[in-house]
Every structure is written in C-alpha cells, then in structure tokens.
Amino acid sequence: MKLIFFAFILLSCNAYDDRQAYIIHMDVSVMPAPFSGSESWHMSILTSLSSSTGKAPAMHLYSYKHVMQGFSAVLTSAQLEQIKQVSGHVATYPDSYGQLLTTHTPKFLGLKKESGLWPASNYGDGMIIGIIDTGIWPESKSFKDEGMPPVPKRWKGRCETGTAFNSSLCNRKLIGARSFSKGRKQLHLNISNTDDYNSPRDFSGHGTHTSSTAAGSPVSDVSYYGYAPGIATGMAQKAHIAMYKTIFAGDTKKTAGADVLAGMDQAIEDGVDLMSLSLGLVPAPYYSDIIALGAFAALEKGIFVSCAAGNSGPNAYSIINEAPWLTSVGAGTVDRDFVATVTLGNSTKTIRGLSIYPKSLFVSNVSLYYGLGNTSKESCDSFSLDTKEVAGKIVLCNPMSDIYSQLDEMSRVAAKGAIFITDQGEHLFPEDYSKPFVAVSLSKGKMIKNYIARAADLATVSIRFRETDLGSKPAPQVAFFSSRGPSLISPGILKPDILAPGFNVLAAWVPNRGFYVDNDSLTTDYALISGTSMASPHVIGIAALIKSAHRDWSPAAIRSAMMTTADITDNTGSPIIDMNSRATGSPLDYGAGHINPNKAMDPGLVYDITVQDYIDFLCGLNYTSLQIGMITKRSNYRCTRANLDLNYPSFMVILNNTNTMTQTFKRVLTNVESSSSSYQAAVRTSKGMKVVVKPQTLIFDGLNSTQEFTVRVDIDLSKSTRKQSEYLGNYGYLSWYEIGGKHVVTSPIVSAFAPPQKKNAI
C-alpha cells in the first residue's frame, strides 16, 4: 500500500562528526547597529564561533525574514553551547527531518461553467497559489498558459535555473519555481540526476500532481491508461502557480525542516495569496512546529494556508497540522469506481468487480480454476498452487488477510489472472494492480463458486478491464487512511477542519516515473493517486476561488465559509460513513463535513478570527512569554483575554476522565451580506447532550455587522444511546437559519475524551 504523503519524523542527533542542523530563534531588537540586515548579523555570529580541533566551522543555511526571527545553521555540540550565550539568543531547536510518506472531482464538487463559484470568481483570476512540495514538471499540458491573465504586478518571485530546468520554462500559469536543499545537503545527502533534479523540476510526481489539482489548466482527452477519461482541470484554473521545492527523492528520501521553512519564508516574500502543504510534522507544541510557525507568519500577511491532515487513519488522535490558524484537510472518496466486467461461461449475466489493471486486456473464455475442498488452495496461500494445474488459467481465491501474497502466488504459478474474493477491494490502490485481477465482494464470490460447482472442469470466464463507473453510491466516504481527531496539541479545537476529495484523484504526473505492471514500466502523463496530500490542493484551489470573489475576506473567514456550508450527508441523503468501518462517521473523522464550493461562496455569516484572537489563544495554552514570542515574532505582544475559546466554526467539549461535563462557549458571527438579516438558532443533538443557545435570534444591520451569542453544552454520557468509543462521546449540530432567506450556517458540537499523554510531542 502506497499513499503519496509526506510525514516528517524527528530523528536523533546525527553522528556526522558531531554536527547537526539547528533552527535558532533570535531577538532582532538587540541586533547591533553596524549590521545592515539580520543575515549579516547571523553570519557574523557564526564566524565568531570557535571550532574544536578537526571540526568544520559552523555553516549557515538560511536566514528567515517572515516565518520567524532567526536562522538555521549546522553546528557542533560545542558551537551550540557557545551560540546559546550570544546576546539576542532566544531558543534553539534541532532541525526536523522527514521522509516520503482531475477529470471528475470538479463535477463531483458541483463546479459548473454556467453558474456558481467558477464564473463568480472568474476561475480564480488574479490569485497566486504557493505550493510547498517536490517540484513541478513544467512541460505538462496542465501548466500551459493559453487564456491565462497577465502575471500580477505585485508578484516578486522568480524562476530559477538548475538541473534540467530553465527560467524560460515559466509562463503566465507557472510564474515562479524555486528549490531549497541546503538543509538536505548538510546531511551529506547530495542530489544526483539519478535520484532527483537539483532544481525545481519534479522527480517523484507528487508536486506536479498537487499543483495541477489546485490550479491546473483544462486539458482534454486525458486518462489513467483508459480509466477516468475526460477533461482534467484544476479547481482554480485561472490562478497562477508558484512552486517551492523543498522535498527531494533519493535512496534515503530525507528532507530537512529548515528547507521547508525557507520555502514558506520565500513564498511569503514573493507575494503568494494562498499556500498549500501536503506534508507535516510529528505533533509538537506550536512554538517548535515548523509548519505552524510558517503558517502564523502567513496568516499575518492575509495568506490562507491549507495542509494535509495526515494518512494515519483510522486511528484516533492521529491528526497532524493542528494549529487553528491553518486549515487541516481530511481525504474523502468520490462517486467514481474503476471496474472490470466478469462473464461466467456462456452466460449473458455479468458480475462487476473492482480493478484498475492498466493494460488493454480482454480475457475471453479462459479456464477458471478453484482449489475446491483444499483450504490452502482455495485461499491461494503461498506455495499452495501447482503450476501444472493453474498456468494460463484465471484463479479464484478466497479472502486472505494479505492480498499481496496471493498476487505473488499467482505470479509464481504463471496464472493468467485472478479473481480475489475480498471485502477490502476498495482499500486497494492503482499501483497494487501489477497483475490482471478483479476484486469482487463476498456475495459475488459466492455466485462464482456456485457456477464452478455446476460447471466443474468446464468452468470458463471472460473479463473486460478498463471500465469507469460514475455515480457510485455512497459518496463521499471518509477514506480509511485519513487521519482522525481529536487533536493532541490543542484538543479543544476540532480537527480535521473539513473533508475534500483525496481518493484516486486523477491529475498531472511526471513522464519519467512509471508504474510497474507485469514487470514492465508503464509511463503516463496523468495518474490516479490517493492521500490527504490530494485533498489539501482541492481546498487551496477552492479557497483561491472564494478569495478571488471576496478579496477582503480573511483566511479565517474563508475557512469559516467552507466549514459552515459543508455537507454532512452523502449522495444517498444519509450521514457520511467511514470507509473503514462502514459505520456512520463523526466530526472527528470529517470535521465540519465535505466541502461544498458553491455554498461556501455565499455563506451569509462567518466566524472571523483576528491575529490578536490567536495570541489570546496561545496565552490560554499557558505558553511562556518566550514561546509566544517565538510564534508571533513579537516581544511586546499582550494578552487581552487569555482563553482557549477561540471564535472557531465548531464546538469541542473535552471530557477529562468523566462522563459528564458542562461547558459554555462565546462566539461572534459577522454578516457578509450587504443587506440586513435575521437568523434563528436550531440544534440537533443525540441523547446525553443538551445544548442551550442564547439569544435564539440574531439580527444583523448590514455588511460586516456582528452579533454575539453563547452556547452552553451539557454532556451526560450515561443517558446516551449511542455506542461509546474510546475517544468519541457524542455530537450534534448548531445551525443558524436565515429568517425569510436561504442561508444556513452550521457548526458541529462534539464531545470527546481527553487524548492520551502527548507521547509524540516534542
């Protein structure tokens, strides 16, 4: 199983001659007057450090302008102790290192040419999206600039020249491309042309895929080897793309947090409007979380930041990118299946199974083998089948815990193909189909067995591959790998924020990286990839559309618009289910719900949050003045109302080892309509949860008018009829209905048990 997602993993101190990279926070207010800028000051500090005998001098990596006050450098342990004594030193943390973890989604999301968010935003015209990723393949048709508007005059970025990449490859679509690898190189991880490109060019395909999903230009007649055919287009097809390559491939697939921070810093300097990161860190306090630091600096510039929520589901407390000033995105399925048609014998009846076998193949009247009466052969256990009996035939295999060992056995005995009976077919990815096989359900497997019992040795089968079914139900579902809440760092904030398409998403790919099928390497310009990495660029593209239509909205207002208009039901009208358990999901799985772009364009009301509100939240976390200063880059901040009750579009009650709890929330709603309006509160809860809203009616005078209200939540799980889990209490929803109008503003109310000890925190 391969999910395309980056997860940073903290490593112990590297043994390379006692040298390691560090991120060093400095107080710029004590910088001596003679220095013209902070970088020259940082260089002077490093030059002044003494080196132990035989040790290399301290090495400067980056000086940061926006994401933090300070720099990154490679130091020995002795130099580290020296730098801690330098005037202006605030704090030092070891760098963190990481390793590698469409045609239909616009329609599934309701985006249309003739109405709604696409025409209202002019397809994201004027927006600049910064992508922090593995680079980009500029020759892809998804990055052609026909019909693109001119590059905004405020843009300060550039395209750099490097290996297999020239600045002339940029255009009005791809307006910026840079790479950052100093942190990686200090690990002695040089970049060779066989491992990656020492330039913004994408080697792994990930950055090309995410970029085209967010803002790719329309491209006709694309598919993944015949699957998912159609017109591929990004969410915001007239938005500009700027790539910041911070992730490099290679044998070790490591990257440095210092590089990621440098990429975010440069994106802010260049003037992006939005930023997407399909990568993350092990949960850490926000003052030592690189992405949280960078996102806070972006927030202060009005930049909307979207991040992948993680691929560690369905486990609870697995969410990453938890900071409330960024939008955490979970992955959902779409209403599209890839299938093969199975015909038994000469029957006119067919059976549909799941398959994404990429080669053009029609299996016609091939003998069908089933090891009837032998449990090992029925299951196609390792070394259970006889080549003489099976070679050239289609093999039927009973459920096994490991379908990959069945594939190995099928290859060993030279079977022509296989039909796997499994209830886990939806958990397979395109790259798993390295051999021709079909996954059928248990009930359909029983039908095939009954046919074999009747036909005996005369049983034959025909299989037609490369078919795409649209309109499958139910959809969306929460993808089984999508990380779940509650948050470890600030459990009082519901995360993930929202669900977006992240399962088998078709988008641009790199032609130099193939998929292995029948021991052949097949190349493609468009690939089906899954992961929350694919969900985040959907949200960033939609955010670009909203921001283009509402230039004065803050990042918090954009996120609120998405969350309060999200769908909590699927295309059958039933609650969204968890793909893994087949049971009804909860807001800890999908946040506020599945994103609905057209509704998000016109939410009626928003929960807005200012920078000062976030500072008060940090004060409520009991961070020290030093720690808050590291996040805010200020020494003169003040706490106006230290508390954890952020003006968020959701309500989270944490049960501290008890089944009962009472909590009161204070919220403020802002009218984003030009006319006056009134709203009436309505609450939906399960037994064991009582919610009282005061006042019940809110009256708004006009644009930007505000109204306060309180929500009291009483939890008594002894009265709940819902089956309890180890982490979820119960949940409900508060909706504000516009009186005589169309707007409905909905927020989840969730009770959950306190997370376990923060063993993964730094």
Encoding tokens for residue 211?
Answer: 């970029």
User: 123: phi > 0 → left, psi -120 to 50 → alpha, else beta; which?
Assistant: left
Cβ proximity of 576 and 570 under 8 Å: yes
206, 209, 240, 743: the catalytic one is: 206
Q: Maximum distance among all alpha carbons in the chain?
A: 93
Whole-Å CA distances, 364 to 257, 356, 383, 468, 533: 53, 18, 27, 20, 39
Closest CA to 586 of 451, 751, 432: 751
User: 122: phi > 0 → left, psi -120 to 50 → alpha, else beta; which?
Assistant: left
Beta strands across the sheet bearing 677-684: 651-655, 744-753, 728-738, 677-684, 697-700
Tell me the torsion sign for CA atoms 687, 689, 690, 693: negative
- How long a stretch of residues is the chain? 762
To the query of whether residue 602 is one of the catalytic residues in this protein, the response is no
One-letter amino acid for residue 498 of the chain:
I
Residue 52's CB: how many other CB atoms inside 10 A? 12
Encoding tokens for residue 277?
Answer: 């990161």
To the query of whether residue 209 is one of the catalytic residues in this protein, the response is no
To the query of whether residue 42 is one of the catalytic residues in this protein, the response is no
199, 533, 548, 677: the catalytic one is: 533
Beta strands across the sheet bearing 274-277: 174-179, 240-245, 128-133, 274-277, 304-308, 327-332, 498-501
Cβ proximity of 400 and 380 under 8 Å: yes
Cβ proximity of 394 and 351 under 8 Å: no
CB-based burial label for 297 (10 Å; 0-12, 13-18, 19+): buried
Q: Which residues are catalytic?
A: 133, 206, 533
